[in-house]
Structure 1
Amino acid sequence: MPSTDDSNRGRIVLLLCALVALAGCLGGASNGASDANGTNGSSDANRTDGANATNDSGPSTSESPAYVVEDASLAFDRHHNRSYFDPPDAEHLPHEATAVEFDRESSRVVVTGSTTGIGDRHCIAVNLTTAERTANGSLLVVVEDRTIVPEDRRGCNATATAYDYRATVEVSGDLPERVVVVHADDAEGGEFRAVVTRSEAGTVVAAEGMQ
């Protein structure tokens, strides 16, 4: 039969083993908490090495409308009757102004406006020199007023007046979101530019001078 001392020593050994085992469990729990909070770099939830970084590539932009310019034409009023461009309070508008209509049913963009040229109507021509889709999807429309001097150089003087015009651009596919209208003067070399979006359809926009 074992003695009392041996029995006590057995209890002490068992108690020490229990304490050692308990310390080991607590240590393991502490390490697990550290991993969960990412303080040792092993937690995906809080990594700072870029693996979970937000993809900040700037604001997203919608694709440009897909369309092709099929045909374009222009008519202008040589007789100053405002046959094509006669908005309210037209007399108070700048001489370089434009308005754009987007006609989805007929797949057309109609640009009307007023541009300044030599006042002698038999010495002027207003031409559509450009109607094309640009790299960013805008429709570029360039209207040029050209002075035509007769061979005898009579009848053309330095006076200037406004001529109104209507340019019609036929497209296939979608309609452009934005139209850039440029008024060019072949004699003076000046240019006026206006940008009109679909939301501004029908609104008269002043064309600003360009250097």
Structure 2
Amino acid sequence: MWKQTFPSPPKTPTGTNAFCKVGGQTASIEGIPGQDCIDKGIARAGLGAGMKASLLLLLPPLIACLLLKARGKTFSRCELALMLQHSGLDGYEGYSLADWVCLAYFSSGFNTAKVTHNSDGSSEYGIFQINSRLWCSDSHSTTKDLCDISCRDLLTDEIVDDIDCIKKAVIDSEGLNAWMGWRDHCRGRNLNYWVNTCNL
């Protein structure tokens, strides 16, 4: 019985020595495709220039989003309470540990990667939603940067810098009243829930 055979396609190398053919020349891409390789791949897929431009425009925000998600963290109530206690916030400027945990919950839901954009052009960052107009610097706000920190640094799972900054911010005459979440949900209330059962 006659059996039709087809030639195997040439194997494309992978890993750190991967390459692609560009304009008849081999271009080493060291594990990451260069622009010429991307162009060729898009051309082979039959995508037009408009689709190529759209794909390339979407890549940077998508990568940034993935990086932020990888670096951020959502704390549990007791995990955060323990960290804030060890950082000296219990009783700091007259606020109990429960005040700080309540503030973090109603600011960010304990999510260190949260960013809120305000109508005045400023943004709020991190677990305590620290405002860029006064306390940290970002790429789009006029700021005093009183904490001398990049707002991006407030979005990681390492919150020591967030704590240092909020210690400076709370010394302001408004104290925690500057945070609407604390003012509306924590001030003057029984806050025992926020630290009960936490083995502090």
Q: Which is richer in strand? A: 1
Q: Which has the higher contact order (CA 8 A, sep 6+)?
A: 1
Task: Place the TM-score, normalised by the shorter chain, in its bin.
Answer: under 0.3
Greater Rg over alpha carbons, structure? 1
Give the TM-score normalised by the residue count of structure 2.
0.24
Give the TM-score normalised by the residue count of structure 1.
0.23
Q: Which is richer in helix? A: 2
